[in-house]
Structure 1
Amino acid sequence: MAEQAFVTLATNDNYAKGAMVLARSLRNHHTTRKLVVLTGPQVADPCQSVLKKLYDEVRVVDLLDSGDTAHLAMMKRPDLGVTFTKLHCWTLTHYSKCVFMDADTLVVSNIDELFDREELSAAPDPGWPDCFNTGVFVFRPSLETYDKLLQYSAEHGSFDGGDQGVLNGFFSSWSMTDISKHLPFIYNLSSIAIYTYLPAFKQYGGNAKVIHFLGQTKPWSLTFDPEARKIRGGSQDAEASHSSFVLDWWTLYSREVLPLLQEHYGDQPFHSGCVEQEESQDSCAASAPPSLSSEERKERWEQGQADYMGEDSFENIQKKLDAFLK
């Protein structure tokens, strides 16, 4: 029987760090499958070297771009254009079945049972549940499917300018056909959704298997103090309900990924993301984001990009409601 693999995509050095943490989380939870990462040519050589230590296969691929500036502008996410590169995963035909995982996901339990599912199995998107979220999905590599996806993209484009729009268009029967292809939300628990569905998170969050750090704020865009085990970079020290997941990501990164990066970068400077023990705040630390106007915050909320780590955390919203009701 042909081998099976988990597949991810790293288009730049930051997402490469995410892919490194993802690989360690899969290994630490004893996956028996191969690990594959697709990388863009922009990923630096030291990062490529670390990925080769953590993955069974590292494949450099050409970046595909939707060129759909209009829809990407609507989402205020021009960076999503290169996510079309994800379509390359269907060319991995030396594997019989694969599970794709975005580089901003973290595995917190063994998920090898996903290989019992068929193409295209995925969890509903928290913003539009009739669509599946493409952060985690099961697929069968096929050059025929790859060619059809490229043809579909050329003819129909993507309704959101990224891979999620084109894949939902291509696999359009997902929402109304075989329910066995609907993965439970615990396989793609979107961090943004926690505040919208806090009671459900309290009920089911303990069973989470994959955490997906959706939105523009990624774990690697924050700063970690390993001595104090605190996250910096938000308006607060990550006192949000899901801060434990961010801490899990950073703890894994600082212990098992950062030493490899330091080894391969050597004397070359690079952004570690960690505050050194002897420094309270230095050039490696991310500066706090500029404060937003009320109108900008409203736009962020409407786009599903609330500052869930800081000002828009459930705790802060609850405090404001309590003060208003008093």
Structure 2
Amino acid sequence: MKSNDVTRWLCSILFCIVLVCVQFEGCVGSKTKKTDEAYVTLLYGDEFLLGVRVLGKSIRNTGSNKDMVVLVSDGVSDYAKSLLRADGWIVEMISLLANPNRVRPKRFWGVYTKLKIFNMTDYKKVVYLDADTIVVKNIDDLFKCGKFCANLKHSERLNSGVMVVEPSATLFNDMMSKIKTTASYTGGDQGFLNSYYSGFPNAHVFEPNLSPEMFSSRPIPEMERLSTLYNADVGLYMLANKWMVDENELRVIHYTLGPLKPWDWWTSWLLKPVDVWQDVREQLDESLPGTGGGQNSKDSFLVKFLFLLPFCALLFCCYHSFTKNQGYFSTLCRSSLCDQVRHLYYRIRSNGPLAYNSISTSTTNSVHQLLNGAQNKAPAYLGGISVCVCFVVAVVSLGLALLIVPRQVMPWTGLLLMYEWTFTIFFILFGGYIHLIYQWGKIVGSRVASSLSQPGSDYDSEKRHQRQISSCDVATWYYGLGMALLAIAAPSLPCLFGITALFLRLGLMVVGGIILASFMTYASEHLAIRSFLKGFDERENARNSGSCFLC
């Protein structure tokens, strides 16, 4: 019995060891080196995580089976590392190299860390790609390049966004010894490499189509220049609205737009090449729960909350308005559609939907006196102040909406959230301003009314009748819907006309913005004066119970 127990215990222990090994292999198997050549990128923080994921997917889409290595610093979260391993990246921890240049942009503090790719001696050759690049065709032929290869930009200086490096400890140590004495025109790694490889502009162009015999027989060049096909600059595309090379032969697209990156949802609406990046993003697998299509599991709840909150607020306002004005809505439902159309026709014919007052001309002289007082009491500067407030509120609404909407959501999601929250914030802020103007008008009206004789009963009945038939302010809806439609149409003009050039797109948006600004100027002035006169007209009386909550 004892021997059987020992055997069972040994079998259980062996089974547990095998199970742990299998789990360990599944978790960190992607760390194992498989080839002597690798694609490499850098990740300093989680902000560029989506870019690295899309880059890896684009490499695998071209059929390459080379290792993919990402060098990560301490600023990268454990979740990001796990996600990259699940995507097939080999994650290697590194320490940042401090930038020795005192005069430099703040974002260049750790860019010298890129030089550590020259010390990746576990590989015979590595192809470095920035996290804001994407591979559109197989580039395994770059591993045939010389000891150092890069693309020469229009400024006759190499760009360090795409490089081919033959790692060497001797070379890396030499760089480290000269890092403090070698000038950098950018204050970063790119300027240092241009100074270190001072003869690079005179290097020969890499020819990937040479026969294998010629590659094996020739001496390995110290430096070779890469064609623009391997580092197509979106910044140059933006200027000419076309690539400087054959688009069908492109290999690598580099999104060199400064702070604007392809994972920012709004760039997809400005630049056509971002569509290529977004197409690859949509193909991302769900390596971890909630990460399919480049989604962020942490932002999914936030996005749903941002979508639903304005709708819930709108439903609440509608419910509140309905319960408060239930009698009016009952009367409205009992009346026929023809009656409503006839009433609207006579109202427009008599006063127009944009008239400042709704008092009939058949009222008494005291009513005329009161109205004249209202017109005189409306401050002359009210319209100008209202226009300024309207534009300030519009700018504040746009700014707050940009801060609220997550940057890395899908383009359509970001656009819808942007519109939704811009309209919501504008409605709250400018609506509050209009309500203050209305209250101001009531205060002024009360003071004027106290100095006049009380109107007769005919006036009161006429006034109550006018309030009932004008319970829903048509002008408020007219201006509100007009501004909303123009705000949607202004940025949509380039898409409607099929224009892809950035500057033409911006030009059309400016034209649409001017039209919107003109309408907002007219609308804000009229709404403010209408609200003031409406409050002036009602004086100390309570607002009509049949008023719309938007009026």
Query: CA separation in 2, counterparts of 1:258 and 1:84?
Result: 33
Residue 188 of structure 1 is matched in structure 2 by 231
Query: CA separation in 1, counterparts of 2:274 and 2:296?
Result: 27
Query: Structure 1 counterpart of 2:68, which letter?
Result: L
Residue 46 of structure 2 is matched in structure 1 by 13
The residue correspondences of 1:1-326 to structure 2 (distance < 5 A) are 3-72=36-105, 78-126=106-154, 128=155, 130-180=156-206, 181-198=224-241, 201=243, 204-214=246-256, 215-220=258-263, 222-223=264-265, 233=266, 237-238=269-270, 240=271, 243=272, 245-256=273-284, 260=288, 262=290, 268-269=298-299, 273-275=408-410, 280-281=416-417, 313-316=502-505
Query: CA separation in 1, counterparts of 2:141 and 2:413?
Result: 41
> How far is 1:16 from its partner?
2.1
Query: In 2 relative to 1, CA 54–312 (structure 1 residues): closer, same or farther, beyond 3 Å?
Result: same
> How far is 1:32 from its partner?
2.8
> How far is 1:7 from its partner?
0.6
Query: Structure 2 counterpart of 1:146, which letter?
Result: F
- Contact 1:24–1:256 under 8 Å retained in 2: yes
> How far is 1:210 from its partner?
0.3
Query: Structure 2 counterpart of 1:196, which letter?
Result: L
Q: Structure 1, unaligned stretches of length 5 or more? A: 73-77, 224-232, 287-309, 321-326
Query: Structure 2 counterpart of 1:207, which letter?
Result: E
- Contact 1:123–1:132 under 8 Å retained in 2: yes
- Contact 1:106–1:249 under 8 Å retained in 2: yes
Query: In 2 relative to 1, CA 79–169 (structure 1 residues): closer, same or farther, beyond 3 Å?
Result: same
Report the structure, 1 or 2, having the larger helix content: 2
Q: Deviations over 1:6-39 (max 9, x none)?
A: 1111111122221111011000111131111101
Query: CA separation in 1, counterparts of 2:175 and 2:188?
Result: 13
Report the structure, 1 or 2, having the larger strand content: 1
Query: In 2 relative to 1, CA 83–255 (structure 1 residues): closer, same or farther, beyond 3 Å?
Result: same
Q: Deviations over 1:104-125 (max 9, x none)?
A: 0000000101111012111112
Relative contact order higher in (CA < 8 Å, ≥ 6 apart): 1
Q: Deviations over 1:269-300 (max 9, x none)?
A: 575722586993179x99xxxxxxxxxxxxxx
- Contact 2:83–2:287 under 8 Å retained in 1: no
Query: Structure 1 counterpart of 2:177, which letter?
Result: Q
Q: Give 3-state SS (helix, strand or coil) of 2:284's partner.
A: helix
> How far is 1:250 from its partner?
2.1
- Contact 2:183–2:195 under 8 Å retained in 1: no
Query: Structure 1 counterpart of 2:230, which letter?
Result: Y
Query: In 2 relative to 1, CA 257–79 (structure 1 residues): closer, same or farther, beyond 3 Å?
Result: farther
TM-score normalised per structure 2? 0.45
Q: Deviations over 1:55-78 (max 9, x none)?
A: 442111111231424243xxxxx2
Residue 230 of structure 1 is matched in structure 2 by none
- Contact 1:84–1:162 under 8 Å retained in 2: yes
Query: CA separation in 2, counterparts of 1:187 and 1:12?
Result: 26
- Contact 2:241–2:501 under 8 Å retained in 1: no
Q: Deviations over 1:176-208 (max 9, x none)?
A: 133331111010001001133446x27523321
> How far is 1:47 from its partner?
0.9
Q: Give 3-state SS (helix, strand or coil) of 1:249's partner.
A: helix
Query: CA separation in 1, counterparts of 2:175 and 2:66?
Result: 26
Query: CA separation in 1, counterparts of 2:135 and 2:37?
Result: 18
Query: In 2 relative to 1, CA 267–187 (structure 1 residues): closer, same or farther, beyond 3 Å?
Result: closer
- Contact 1:81–1:161 under 8 Å retained in 2: no
Q: Give 3-state SS (helix, strand or coil) of 1:37's partner.
A: strand
Q: Give 3-state SS (helix, strand or coil) of 1:87's partner.
A: helix
User: Once the two structures are aligned, what percentage of the paired residues are identical?
Assistant: 25
Query: Structure 1 counterpart of 2:173, which letter?
Result: D
Query: CA separation in 2, counterparts of 1:133 and 1:194?
Result: 16
Query: CA separation in 1, counterparts of 2:40 and 2:131?
Result: 9
TM-score normalised per structure 1? 0.73
Query: CA separation in 2, counterparts of 1:278 and 1:131?
Result: 37
**Of 48-57 and 4-13, the range deviating more from structure 2:** 48-57
Query: CA separation in 1, counterparts of 2:125 and 2:37?
Result: 5
Query: CA separation in 2, counterparts of 1:24 and 1:261?
Result: 17
Query: In 2 relative to 1, CA 202–164 (structure 1 residues): closer, same or farther, beyond 3 Å?
Result: closer
Query: In 2 relative to 1, CA 218–272 (structure 1 residues): closer, same or farther, beyond 3 Å?
Result: closer
Query: CA separation in 1, counterparts of 2:298 and 2:507?
Result: 45
- Contact 2:126–2:143 under 8 Å retained in 1: yes
Instruction: Indicate the structure (1 or 2) with the bigger Cα radius of gyration.
Output: 2
Q: Deviations over 1:155-177 (max 9, x none)?
A: 22422111101111111111113
Query: CA separation in 2, counterparts of 1:7 and 1:159?
Result: 25
CA RMSD of aligned residues (A): 3.4
Query: Structure 2 counterpart of 1:160, which letter?
Result: T
Query: In 2 relative to 1, CA 28–125 (structure 1 residues): closer, same or farther, beyond 3 Å?
Result: same
